[in-house]
Amino acid sequence: MARAETPLTREQIVAAAEDCIRRFGPGKATVVDVARALGVSHAAVYRHVPTKAALRDLVVDRWIEATMSPLREIAAQKGAAPQRLRQLFDALIAMKRRRALDDPELFAAYRTLAADSQSVVAAHVDDLVELTASVIASGVEKGAFRPVDPMATARALLAATSRFHHPAHAAEWNDAGMDSTFNGLWQLLMAGLCVPRKAR
């Protein structure tokens, strides 16, 4: 029986959209499919999601928010900046790998959807840059990091480490040497960013 009179939530719509994307693929899942999965009319879903593109953006945004929430908690901590910065990147990398391993079908769909949701992805990148920059700024203020431009340095760090967290490189993440490679890269990056202890 249809639930046309039952108010829908965005969470219900996005969850149903993810199920449809798993079943039909990101290119074929439609608002009508989502409505059918929820047992409501497509008009009920359209009141929340006016287009298929908007539905895709909601799915991508949900994935992004699930990534950003724990990263914000790390950035807000009061520990030493070098350790927090490493924790931030370790968490980012771990979450992306876990998603790729635990739900490979949806992860592959996410990559496809993200390519069509440039404004959502751009906002995500900006959020990542701002979080990273906030940790760098605190390190500069406390004398742990050299007097760098936090925003520019954050963008450089994210670009330098993209192989380890950008979905385009997911096929490489099962390489047994990835962790060792990242550790080597991180040491090199921190050698340029951190103030030597003797100089503090």
pLDDT digits (tens, 9 = 90+) for 60-80: 888 888 889 999 999 999 899
Split at pLDDT 50, 70, 90, the class of 82 is: very high
pLDDT value of residue 199: 58
Q: How many helices (H) and strands (E) does the chain have?
A: 10, 0
Overall average pLDDT of the 28-53 stretch: 86
Q: Where in the chain is the domain with CATH 1.10.10?
A: 10-46
Residue type, 9: T
- Measured CA to CA, the distance from residue 160 to residue 153 in angstroms comes to 10
pLDDT surpasses 60 at 3: no
Split at pLDDT 50, 70, 90, the class of 2 is: very low
| pTM listed for this prediction | 0.81
Query: What is the dotted CATH code of the domain comprising 10-46?
Result: 1.10.10
- Between residues 109 and 89, which one has the greater pLDDT? 89
pLDDT tens for 149-169 read: 999 999 999 999 999 998 889
pLDDT value of residue 200: 57
Split at pLDDT 50, 70, 90, the class of 6 is: low
* Spatial CA neighbour of 47 closest among 10, 11, 18, 14: 10
The DSSP bridge partners found for residue 194 are: 145
- Measured CA to CA, the distance from residue 117 to residue 68 in angstroms comes to 17
pLDDT cut 90: percent of the chain above it? 44
C-alpha neighbours within 13 Å on the C-beta side of residue 141 = 10
User: What is the fold of 57-199?
Assistant: Tetracycline Repressor; domain 2 (1.10.357)
| Complete DSSP assignment for 49-112 | --SHHHHHHHHHHHHHHHHHHHHHHHHT--S-HHHHHHHHHHHHHHHHHHHHHH-HHHHHHHHH
C-alpha neighbours within 13 Å on the C-beta side of residue 193 = 25
Tell me what the pLDDT averaged over the chain comes to. Answer: 88
Q: Where in the chain is the domain with CATH 1.10.357.10?
A: 57-199
Residue type, 104: P
pLDDT cut 70: percent of the chain above it? 96
pLDDT surpasses 80 at 110: no
